[in-house]
């Protein structure tokens, strides 16, 4: 079987669409395919980018061109099927990538109650996140605030490792004010947004109001998040993912 045919088969078995990270795991397992290397990641990336059989949905998310209408309908991105707007899809998609990264890095992951039933690539976010109950690492008023953060990672001591806020179009100061509430904790904070909003982030975080958390808050673009997600799938051993 040719390499691009193996990628097509892997994507077909995933419902007609898949993240690049998922393809790294599945396309290489398609029988009777010769890759010529034990780590054919560059070949898979090149195939989806250059072959007309594939099209890009979002950074890191690809689909079969022959199933375009069907896939877009599944993801509610085609206007005639739309039950959710594209902005909501974007928000949930990037939340899901963050949750998967956290899971693969052995952190416990949590998404807010209001987001648990949102669909992420054929599953509910609640089914991807590992925590059903938020860890009570501080007093209640702060806990209630923390539970609204888009994605939370916890370490094995049940303390927060990182907080992520996905800002597609909403004002960034909302997230920065939220992060500032936890300035006494050793937590990493990330604003996830389109790269076009980087300068806006830099202006906001430079305000004296956020000087206490300035060094702890990072900007993460959608493209960089996608690359991170793909990289984690490349570097985390398969047996770890499978719990072996």
Q: Per-residue pLDDT tens for 59-96?
A: 999 999 999 999 998 887 754 434 445 677 889 999 99
Instruction: Give the number of domains in the chain.
Output: 2
In a domain, 130, yes or no: yes
Are residues 143 and 170 part of one domain? Answer: yes
Phi, psi angle pair for 35, to nearest 5°: -100, -20
Q: Per-residue pLDDT tens for 1-12?
A: 899 999 999 999
What average pLDDT score do residues 109-125 get? 94
Are residues 228 and 127 part of one domain? Answer: yes
Are residues 219 and 122 part of one domain? Answer: yes
Residue 219, sorted as left (phi over 0), alpha (psi -120 to 50) or beta, turns out to be beta
Are residues 54 and 162 part of one domain? Answer: no
Position 227 confidence tier, pLDDT thresholds 50, 70, 90: very high
Are residues 41 and 132 part of one domain? Answer: no
Q: Per-residue pLDDT tens for 197-223?
A: 999 999 999 999 999 999 999 999 999
Lowest-pLDDT choice from 152-161, 168-177, 232-241: 232-241
pTM: predicted TM-score of the whole model, two decimal places: 0.89
**Distance from C-alpha of 107 to C-alpha of 129, rounded to nearest angstrom:** 10
Structural domain containing residue 58: 3-79
Query: Going by DSSP bridges, is the β-strand pair 151-154/108-110 parallel, antiparallel, or unpaired?
Result: antiparallel
Are residues 132 and 102 part of one domain? Answer: yes
In a domain, 54, yes or no: yes
Residue 150 has pLDDT above 50, yes or no: yes
Are residues 104 and 63 part of one domain? Answer: no
Are residues 94 and 72 part of one domain? Answer: no
Are residues 198 and 142 part of one domain? Answer: yes
Report the CATH number that the domain containing residue 19 is assigned in CATH: 1.10.10.10
């Amino acid at each position: 079987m040719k390499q691009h045919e193996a990628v097509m088969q892997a994507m077909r078995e995933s419902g007609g669409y898949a993240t690049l990270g998922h393809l790294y795991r599945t396309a290489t397992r398609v029988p009777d395919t010769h890759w010529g290397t034990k780590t054919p990641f560059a070949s898979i990336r090149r195939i989806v980018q250059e072959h007309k059989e594939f099209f890009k949905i979002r950074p890191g998310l690809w689909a079969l061109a022959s199933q375009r209408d069907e896939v877009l309908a599944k993801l509610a991105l085609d206007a005639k099927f739309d039950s959710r707007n594209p902005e909501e899809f974007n928000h949930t998609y990037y939340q899901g990538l963050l949750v998967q990264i956290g899971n693969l890095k052995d952190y416990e992951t949590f998404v807010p109650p209001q987001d648990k039933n949102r669909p992420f690539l054929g599953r509910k976010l609640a089914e991807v996140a590992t925590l059903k109950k938020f860890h009570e690492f501080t007093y209640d008023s702060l806990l209630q605030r923390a539970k609204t953060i888009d994605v939370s990672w916890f370490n094995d001591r049940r303390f927060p490792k990182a907080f992520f806020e996905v800002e597609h179009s909403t004002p960034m100061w909302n997230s920065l004010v939220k992060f500032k509430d936890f300035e006494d904790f050793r937590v990493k904070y990330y604003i996830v947004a389109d790269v076009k909003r980087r300068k806006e982030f830099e202006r906001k975080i430079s305000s004296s109001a956020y000087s206490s958390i300035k060094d702890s808050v990072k900007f993460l673009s959608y493209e960089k998040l996608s690359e991170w997600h793909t990289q984690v799938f490349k570097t985390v051993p398969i047996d770890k993912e499978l719990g072996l």
